Structure 1
């Protein structure tokens, strides 16, 4: 074993993530042209990466463990399409492997990367084995041997790429998933070397306007649920709501026990609390990372069970509501709804439980990811067309539980 003493810092990790995003900016259209990964997998992966890089712009955390956790939370919450969910799980595994570390050795980072590959594999069905799974297994094996040899991180990434390319040659075909894996690895290597075009510079030059490139600011997510009470009977709730909407996405206020109970979603809970100390004494503070499995406690829900569907326009939304959808989330096969949009719908406390109805195969992994995060308050009905989804909605019975409704609705869709 060599005496490699390399240390990977938070700054190194930032450059790797930005390098990967830069590489996807260059490759997403060619990924869209490949089979596998659903409709427009390149666009979905780019938008997921757009959500992932947002926390790097203004975070004050310099440690690699804290940064990787923030990136993972944003990626999981901002994931779009099957490809986006797989990438988010890759970041999740890396974050788990780096948890609590300020810096990491090459070996520690290599092991964290292996965790990432394993997490990404878990969300994909084992049969039939897709090229992305075959490549991922080979990449993990290549990384394992390089980690054992205690070589620098660039050599670990190079060994992973070489092993994946050998596996792809044996398969004899490439799909979008395999290309995504190689694009990510190559981008990380370029980021470490500083050999990449700055995504910020690309966007400032107006490339998104010329080519229809997604603007990452549109995919910024608020993965932290913050709940607390302000003990001040004189609080102006309307003024407070306006102020909170400037720093949070979802905001609920309720007068309670001589004060105000606040429930909001934000990407910087500390910034909210820093302002809140001036509103009055704070009580019962709770911060939940919604990108991890968590339990929701419904507050004064309007109904016991509600249905959620996806629509690509206002007219389509009205059509889905006429078909029986209680809540409609914006999205389409080309612009898949993000995990955060589905989770936010459930956090609205419109109902105690929800049945999410997917009208496209492209939605499946995103819907399944939302259910993993929300647990028993959510059930899924997975269909492959709008006609099937509307048959499912027609079978909804408001007197039945979410679980019983999901079973009868799925049966109606499959009939």
Structure 2
């Protein structure tokens, strides 16, 4: 047998991402109709994964870097922060593992790319914090084992994906033979693999043009433009700035969000979140005599944040899905983050952006839904010691926790006290 000399390029990987997104567009409603227990998403796991995949796909729509490592990093960053629901977090972790396996590479051979996919399975496994393994992880292990020989033999990537899909199909047939229902998580993993294979081969047909902002789309399909993620936090000082604040705001609003501008004497301090920080350098040319730029990737684990001037030492951030309870939570001293009006859920990046707003130095986050548990677990990993998460399941539990909050106590002391309050409340209603 001749030696395989196949090279996987950045363009190949972009086609795989486009193919995977197209596959989820075709299958997300079917995934929604299946048992989603292995993803712990009680509502719309398919939609959550589609929107997470949309964040990943939009990351590469205009990217000019041809390096497969850089493209994989962009996909990973946007998927991690754009992850919706517990199912989206698991999908995002597959892309994080792939990016780790491709880090620093311009292009790779089939063996390296196959190993990067195995890294993806490992990262998704690590994110599952429960003792019982989810169906998506069990299927993923079967997929990884099935592709192992093809990776070791340095087979072409199309063969590696084919072996992975074959192993996954066999695992699903075995499960069905045991009278187990088709699980949303296992189905979603197969959709991902099949979409990547179709994208690599160029044999996919998308029901929408995902990289066109002017294309009319069905109102029932989430538009990927709504899931664009800006993963880089840029803090910039312009010395002896000649530009007016109003002009700076107008220009930077085109490139980022969370824009904060502060003038100090002749200098200008700017904070914003961007998709591509390199665009900023061109825009600020001529605004001042010199510049001091700090860029932080908010999708990095435990990345220390550069604090501005927080208004409070400690604040509580409570999640609410019903406007009727907002005032009740606020009366108990909480800041409230609302799920979006169309009930399409929050993304991990919503929590990261809120913490970056520097309302407080540290936060306690009160969830109201088990479908957010992995999302908040991921937010904790990203934000480190700046937050503690209280896994409350409804508004009554949130209020029980808020009742014992003491602003004079530390973050850790309050977190422990509030968790105990929720435990007492749960015992009282049994």
Scaled by the length of structure 2, the TM-score of the pair is: 0.91
Instruction: Name the counterpart of 1:349.
Output: 358
Counterpart pick for 2:274 among 247, 251, 266: 266
Counterpart pick for 2:200 among 186, 192, 196: 192
Tell me how far 1:360 sits from its aligned partner. Answer: 0.6
Instruction: Name the counterpart of 2:84.
Output: 80
Instruction: Name the counterpart of 1:222.
Output: 230
- Give the alignment of 1:142-221 within 5 angstroms: 142-172=146-176, 173=180, 174-198=182-206, 200-201=208-209, 206-209=216-219, 212-221=220-229
Tell me how far 1:233 sits from its aligned partner. Answer: 4.9
Counterpart pick for 1:306 among 289, 303, 315: 315
Counterpart pick for 1:54 among 40, 55, 58: 58
What SS class does the counterpart of residue 233 from structure 2 fall into?
strand
- Give the alignment of 1:369-380 within 5 angstroms: 369-380=378-389
C-alpha distance in 2, partners of 1:199/1:100?
A: 34
Instruction: Name the counterpart of 1:94.
Output: 98
C-alpha distance in 2, partners of 1:126/1:312?
A: 26
Scaled by the length of structure 1, the TM-score of the pair is: 0.95
CA pair 332-42 structure 1, distance change in 2 beyond 3 A: farther
Counterpart pick for 1:382 among 387, 391, 403: 391
Tell me how far 1:84 sits from its aligned partner. Answer: 0.5
What SS class does the counterpart of residue 354 from structure 1 fall into?
strand
C-alpha distance in 1, partners of 2:52/2:164?
A: 23
What SS class does the counterpart of residue 257 from structure 2 fall into?
coil
Residue 116 of structure 2 corresponds to residue 112 of structure 1: yes
CA contact (8 A) 2:366 2:398 kept: yes
CA pair 206-316 structure 1, distance change in 2 beyond 3 A: farther
Question: 1:27-73 CA deviation, whole Å, 9 max, x = no partner?
Answer: 10111111222121001001101111112111111111111110101
CA pair 32-271 structure 1, distance change in 2 beyond 3 A: same
Question: 1:328-371 CA deviation, whole Å, 9 max, x = no partner?
Answer: 24348952311111001000111010011111100111111111
CA contact (8 A) 1:359 1:385 kept: yes
Tell me how far 1:414 sits from its aligned partner. Answer: 1.9
Q: Can you give the 5+ residue segments of structure 1 that lack an aligned partner in the other structure?
A: none
C-alpha distance in 1, partners of 2:254/2:59?
A: 17
C-alpha distance in 1, partners of 2:336/2:393?
A: 19
CA pair 332-359 structure 1, distance change in 2 beyond 3 A: farther
CA contact (8 A) 1:360 1:386 kept: no
C-alpha distance in 2, partners of 1:399/1:235?
A: 43
What SS class does the counterpart of residue 249 from structure 1 fall into?
strand
What SS class does the counterpart of residue 82 from structure 1 fall into?
helix
CA pair 64-199 structure 1, distance change in 2 beyond 3 A: farther
| More deviation, 14-23/399-408 | 399-408
CA contact (8 A) 1:5 1:105 kept: yes
Counterpart pick for 1:282 among 290, 296, 311: 290
| More deviation, 315-324/17-26 | 315-324
Coordinate RMSD, CA, aligned: 1.9
| More deviation, 125-134/96-105 | 125-134
Instruction: Name the counterpart of 2:405.
Output: 396
Tell me how far 1:287 sits from its aligned partner. Answer: 0.8
CA pair 199-99 structure 1, distance change in 2 beyond 3 A: farther
CA contact (8 A) 1:106 1:150 kept: yes
The size of the alignment, in residue pairs, is 413
CA contact (8 A) 2:26 2:207 kept: no
Instruction: Name the counterpart of 2:375.
Output: 366
Instruction: Name the counterpart of 1:232.
Output: 240
Counterpart pick for 1:321 among 319, 330, 346: 330
